[in-house]
Structure 1
Amino acid sequence: MRLHALAVASVLAVQPSVHAAEPLASSISCMDAEGIPATVVSTKSGKRVPIIYWKSETFSSSGWNPTRRCKEVSARFQEYHQAGTLEFITTGRMNGMPVLCVSKTDGGGCAGLLYTLKPGQNATATLKKLFDIRNKPGAAPLEETTARLYVNFETVVRNKAASGVTSSPSLVKPVAGPNQSAPLF
């Protein structure tokens, strides 16, 4: 019996360790995707994958048109990506307001603000709509706990890249203009 346990331990010791998949994203920025401001992931393989299209004019009257929101939120995505905190996107509350934020773990708390929602806005519904998440086979992945929704960022990028939701470099261009860094709403 002792020899058998030693043999199993020896086999396990020489097995290569399992590592998480290499992140797809090399950078995240706001680009013009066929006339629509979009948060775009540039992958390490050279693909440009739009993950959010900024179409709503809801906040334009307060100075936050789609282009400005795209630039600000895309810059935050990039900041969290570089810091290694962009694992999951979830909902939360900051300063009494509903928000979309990043979390390092499924079930974890907000580690950084992506953007603030309007008072009373349903954060879970907004997150589902933002990433076009549907409750059907083949839709974007989601992790729902009883309290909050968690969307795995890398899986969203992988699914959108695999489903052909990518753009050629000629159709996705950097958005011109200065990058504002004021609060969103």
Structure 2
Amino acid sequence: MLSALVAGAASVVVPHPAEARARSFLCSTIGGVPTTVAATADGRSVPVIRWTSRAFDNAGWTAARRCQDVSTRFDIYNREGRLKYLTTGRINDMPVICTTTSMGGGCDRLLYTLKPGQSASATLQNLLDVRVKARAPLVESNGRTYLSINELLDPSPVTTPAVPAVEPTGADANRLF
């Protein structure tokens, strides 16, 4: 689904960790839309995910329920120190957004499942777009895309080169890494 990141061809934003650290994550309704929000150490509330899709409603996963469940996962993984980077993967042949503690690492913990056929890389791009309200410098690739959670929360980002990563193929491509 994703193609390999080309070294030097793209940039990602690197946070200032002291400014960006999230105290907690919660589900809040903003403009009538369930939204996962990060409460930062400096007192800001940063919208992370606006839950508008109805794709999982028939399975009992309404936007409000997904917001509550995923916000709780964000909060737990953050408290456990496992919420360093967001990345992509596949579970049961479905695209997912998950966490990892290191750039280049595989999925450690599931955050949420995407709709069949939805681009996980584009979804990470959209998460960053929610924060900066502009096109961010991530590239869809054969490798996994990595996004620092602090990147979403940092009020004053700086730009550095992207780090390439290679996605497994074959039987390993459908496992949670």
Using structure 2 for the length normalisation, give the TM-score: 0.68
Unmatched segments (≥5 aa) in structure 2: 1-15, 158-177
Question: TM-score, with normalisation over the residues of structure 1?
Answer: 0.65
Aligned counterparts of 1:58 and 1:144: Cα–Cα separation in 2: 23
Q: 1:113 to 1:85 in 2, by over 3 A?
A: same
Q: Deviations over 1:100-147 (max 9, x none)?
A: 1001111111110011223333221222234327xx9x6446477751
Residue 147 (structure 1) aligns with? 143
2:82 corresponds, among 82, 85, 94, to 85
Q: Among the aligned pairs, what percent are the same residue?
A: 44
Q: Is the 8 A contact 2:89 2:95 kept in 1?
A: yes
Aligned partner of 2:153 among 157, 166, 180? 157
Gaps of 5+ in 1: 1-19, 164-185
- Structure 1 residues 132-173: Cα deviation after superposition (integer angstroms, max 9, x where no partner): 27xx9x6446477751111111011114xx59xxxxxxxxxx
Paired residue for 2:169?
none
Aligned length: 140
Q: Tell me if the contact between 1:106 and 1:143 (Cα under 8 Å) persists in the aligned partners.
A: no
Higher relative contact order (CA 8 A, sep 6+): 2
Larger radius of gyration: 1
1:123 partner letter: A
Could you say what the CA RMSD is over the residues aligned between the two structures, in angstroms?
2.7
Q: What is the Cα deviation at residue 65 of structure 1?
A: 1.4
SS in 1 for 2:52: coil
Equivalence map 1:87-102=2 (5 Å): 87-102=84-99
Equivalent residues of 1:90, 1:100 under 8 A apart: yes
